[in-house]
Amino acid sequence: MKKLFAFLICLQILKPAFAQNNSLNVEQLQAEVKQGIKQAYNASVRIIAYNSELQTGVGGNFSGVVVDKKGHILTAGHAVTPNAIYLVNFPDGRQVKAKGLGVIVSADAGMLVITDKGKWPTAKMGWSSLLENNVPCLSIACPGNLGLNNPTVRFGYISNKLHENGYIQNTCLMEPGDSGGPLFDLQGRVIGIHSRIRDGQEENFETPIDVFRKYWTALQSPQNHTAFIPEDKFSPDKKAEMLKPVPEIAALSSSFKAQAAEFQQTVFAVKDSVQKVSILSTLVNLKGLFPESDLKGKSFFITKSSELSEHPIIEVVSGKFVSAKVLNRDEKNDLALLEVSMEINGGVTLQSINTDSVSFEEVGNFLISPRPKNEGIMSVLGNCFLAIPKSPAAFLGIGVNFNTDTRKISVTALYPERTNAKTENAKGGENDIAIGDVLTRINNESILTVDGLSKELSKYDIDQSVSLQYTKKSGSTYTRDVVLKHYYVAPNVSFDHFREGKSQRRDNFKEALVHDGKLNPADCGGPLYGANGVFYGINIARFCRTTTLAIPAKVIVQFVKESKIIL
C-alpha cells in the first residue's frame, strides 16, 4: 500500500483506481479474471516426450489440462503419439508419467492418461456450444519460447465462436509449445484446446471442448482415428452457468483512459541520432536518492540500452528533440540512464518504490504500457520473476529446433555477427556447423532439448567458449569450440508467427516479468504500470508472439542507485 500511495501522490492521480466504461465494471472483471486463474491454474500442465533409456524428457514441449480424477489429460491431436510415454509437469513442481491415448487428426483432438498413482488437481469441462462472441477467456499454457515448467496466463475474448474452419477463434495470444493448452472461461472451465495460429495476433484457434465430449469414448482407445468415429451423445447441462458476452471488451483500454493519460506523462520517445532508431524512455524522479543540488536543472530517463549509441536525443515535446547524455549502462539488464539539461516535472518517484518481489497473487492483474502519442496497450501479468536464458541464435549464431520426425535437435539457421549484421552473410569452412546438422552434445553433455542447450549457454559470458558436437548429413561427427558473441537475428515472420516481430536483444535476463502486451519493439523502454497505479517496471523486449518482458521495478531502483549522475 505504501508503494501505491506514494506513486499516486507523485502523479497526482485523484481518480478512482478503476474508471468505469458505461456498463462495463472493470473492477468486477478483474476480480473474475483472478478467480478464473485460481480455479484453473493448477490443472494446466506442461508435457514432454519421455526417453525410457535415458529416463528423462526429450524434444519440445506441449501443453494440456487434467480434467478428471482418473488423470485424463486433454491436448492437441498433432502433439500426441498413441501409447507413447510422456512426462507431465504440474505447476506445483510434481512430475508424473502419462501414456498417449487416442488422436482424432481431423479435429486436432488428443488425450493422455496419467499412469502414476496419486491425486491431481483438475479443471471442469465447459460447453463450447454455449459460447458467444465477446465472452472473456483465459489461456493458461506453456509457450515454447519461454521454456518454463509452470504455465503463463494470457487474457482475451472469443472473437468468433465457430470459425469457418470449425475452430473457436479468440484473442488470447498463442505460439508453438502452447499446443494442447487449455482455454478457460472466467469460471475456470475448459472451453477449448489450443490448436493452431496464423501470423495475425488475433488469429488464435481452439478445438472446441464439445469435440472432446463427442468423441470421449473413442479417445480412450490409443490409436489414430481416421475412419468413421462413433459419437457419444451429450447435451449441455441445463444448470450450467451461462457465459455472458462483454461487448465493451474489444475496447477494454478505453476504460483506463484516465490512468493512461496520467501514465503518459512519464513516457517519452527517444532516438539514436546516428542509427535513427526510435524507442521509448521512462522519465524518473531521483529525489531522495541523490542530493537536491545534483538534480537541479536536469531530468533523467531510463530506456533500452542496446538500441542507442552514445548520442541519443529525446522528444521532450511533440516535434522538439533535445540531446541526452548517457550516464550509465547496465548491459545485463539492457538498461541505460540518460540525462537532459532541463527540468521536466513529474516522473516515477523511485525512492518510494517497494522493492519486494511480485507475488503469484498478482498474476492476472491488468497492466498498462503507456505510449507518448498513442493509446496505452493493455495486458495482464502472466508470470512472476523469471530467468530468461541465452538463446543459441543470439549467442552462438545458430538457429535450432527439435525435429519431430528425427527426434533430434537440428540446426535451422545461421546468423552473422552483429557488428556487420546487415551487410555480410555467415561464412564458414566445409566442416563447420551448417543448416541441417544435428547438435548432439555441449560440453560433453547430451543435448536433449532446446531449453537444455539455452540453460547451458547461460553459464558462460561473452568471449568464453563452449564445446559443441554435431553430426553432418554424411554421418560424420565433429567437435568444435565456439566462442560466445553477439549475433544479428533477422526478423522472420514465418518462424516468429507474428508480423510485428521480436526485439533484437530479448534474452539473457536474470530476472524479468512476463505479460501479454502486444508491444512492437519500438514500444520498449517505456514504463509498465498496474491499472491501480503500481509501477511494475520498464518494458525491455518483445520476446515472442505471446510475451513481452519487463525489467522489474526493484532492479530499476538498484541500477539507478549504483549510477553516478555527475560527470
**Single-letter amino acid, residue 385:** F
**Residues 31 and 146 placed together within one structural domain of the fold:** yes
Q: Please give the pLDDT value at position 98.
A: 98
pLDDT at position 3, please? Answer: 39
The span from the CA of 486 to the CA of 397, in Å, is 8
Query: For residue 427, what pLDDT is reported?
Result: 55
Asked if residue 359 belongs to a domain, the reply is: no
Q: What is the pLDDT of residue 203?
A: 94
Claim to verify: residue 106 and residue 157 sit in the same structural domain: yes
Flag whether 184 is in a domain: yes
Of 492, 491, 503, 565, residue with least CA distance to 540: 503
Higher model confidence: residue 283 or residue 130? Answer: 283
Tens of pLDDT along 461-493?
A: 999 999 999 999 999 999 999 999 999 988 888
Scan for cell 543459441, then name that residue.
392
pLDDT exceeds 80 at position 5: no
Residue 474: inside a domain: yes
Say which residue the cell 569450440 belongs to: 481
- Inter-residue contact 392 to 398 (CB < 8 Å): yes
Indicate the Cα dihedral angle 555, 556, 558, 561, nearest 10°: 180
Give pLDDT tens digits for 116-152.
Answer: 999 999 999 999 999 999 999 999 999 999 988 899 9
Cα distance between residue 339 and residue 294, in whole Å: 12
Domain final residue pick, 351, 370, 403 = 351
Residue pLDDT, tens place only, 523-546 = 999 999 999 999 999 999 999 999
Enclosing H/E stretch for 411: strand 408-414
- What does the chain come to in residues? 567
Identity at 501, one-letter amino acid code: G
Which residues make Cβ contacts (< 8 Å) with residue 514, sequence separation at least 6?
Answer: 146, 152, 381, 382, 383, 386, 543, 547, 548, 549, 550
Does residue 219 or residue 276 have the better pLDDT? 219
Per-residue pLDDT of 245-254, as tens digits, reads 999 999 999 8
Q: Which three cell numbers stand for residue 509?
A: 535476463
Pair 323, 308: CB distance under 8 Å: no
| 558 within some domain | no
**186 and 50, same structural domain?**
yes
Residues 239 and 144 occupy one common structural domain: yes
CA distance linking residue 219 with residue 236, whole number of Å: 20
Residue 140 φ then ψ, to 5°: -130, 90
Last residue of a domain, one of 245, 261, 282: 245
Q: Find all residues with CB under 8 Å of 291, minimum gap 6, and list them.
A: none
| pLDDT class of 494 with cuts at 50, 70, 90 | confident
Identify whether 545 is part of a domain.
no
Distance, CA of 414 to chain centre: 24
What backbone phi and psi angles, to 5 degrees, belong to 100? -70, 135
CATH number at residue 470: 2.30.42.10
Q: Is residue 278 part of a domain?
A: yes
* CATH of residue 93: 2.40.10.120
469 CB neighbour count, 10 Å cutoff: 18
The dihedrals phi and psi of 440, each to the nearest 5 degrees, come to: -115, -35
pLDDT in tens, 299-316: 999 999 999 989 999 999
pLDDT digits (tens, 9 = 90+) for 188-240: 999 999 999 998 999 999 999 999 999 999 999 999 998 889 999 988 887 77
Domain with 203, as residue range(s), is 26-245
Query: How much is the pLDDT for 491?
Result: 81
What pLDDT is attached to residue 131?
94
Coil/strand/helix, residue 7: helix
In the predicted model, what is the mean pLDDT of the chain?
Answer: 90
- Residues 329-369 have pLDDT tens digits of 999 999 999 999 999 999 999 998 877 778 899 999 999 99
Q: What is the mean pLDDT of residues 49-59?
A: 91
Count of domains in the chain? Answer: 3
pLDDT at 77: 97
Q: What is the pLDDT of residues 399-408, one digit of tens each?
A: 999 887 788 8
Is 20 among the domain residues?
Answer: no
228 and 274 together in one domain: no
Helix (H, G, I), strand (E, B) or coil at 79: helix
On whether both 154 and 86 belong to a single domain, the answer is yes
- Whether 157 maps to a domain, the answer reads yes
Residue 8 pLDDT exceeds 80 = no
Using CA atoms, how far residue 157 sits from 90, 136, 188, 326, 379, in Å, is: 26, 4, 14, 43, 13
In order of 63, 326, 416, 425, 485, the CA distances from 419 in angstroms are 38, 21, 8, 12, 10
pLDDT over 80 (residue 11): no
Residue 20, pLDDT above cutoff 90: no
Whether residue 168 is found in the same domain as residue 297: no
Residues 99 and 223 in one domain: yes
**280 shares its domain with 215:** no
DSSP character string of 102-126: EEEGGGTEEEEEE-S-S-----EE-
Q: Is 460 left (phi over 0), alpha (psi -120 to 50) or beta?
A: beta
Angle at 163 between CA 157 and CA 169, to 5 degrees: 25
Distance CA 281, CA 524 (A): 8
Q: How far is CA 319 from CA 242, 313, 314, 457, in A?
A: 51, 12, 10, 43
Of the residues 245, 280, 313, the one at which a domain ends: 245
Residue 158: pLDDT band with limits 50, 70, 90: very high
Query: 349: helix, coil or strand?
Result: strand
Phi, psi of 452 (to 5 degrees): -65, -40
Query: 377 and 368 in contact (C-beta within 8 Å)?
Result: yes
Beta strand 182-184 pairing with 168-170? unpaired
Check if the beta carbon of residue 118 is closer than 8 Å to that of residue 168: no
Reported as half-sphere exposure (CB side, CA atoms, 13 A), residue 20 has a value of 5
* pLDDT exceeds 90 at position 392: yes
- 444-460 pLDDT per residue, tens: 999 999 999 999 999 99
Report which residue type is found at 343: E
Element (H, E) at 138: strand 136-141
What is the C-alpha to C-alpha distance for residues 183 and 157, in angstroms, rounded to an integer? 10
Q: Is the pTM of this model over 0.85?
A: yes
Residue 533: the pLDDT is: 93
Residue 438 three-state SS: strand
pLDDT tens, 87-118?
Answer: 999 999 999 999 999 999 999 999 999 999 99
- Residue of 541, 180, 536 lying closest to 380 (CA atoms): 536
pLDDT grade for 428, boundaries at 50, 70 and 90: low
Both 338 and 477 in a single domain?
Answer: no
The span from the first CA to the last CA of the chain, in angstroms, equals: 36
- Decide: residue 514, CB within 10 A, 0-12 exposed, 13-18 middle, 19+ buried: buried
In this structure, are 163 and 77 located in the same domain? yes
Same domain, 286 and 181: no
Report the chain's C-alpha Rg in angstroms: 25
Predicted pLDDT at 403 = 82
DSSP summary character for residue 133: T
Cell 528423462, residue? 56
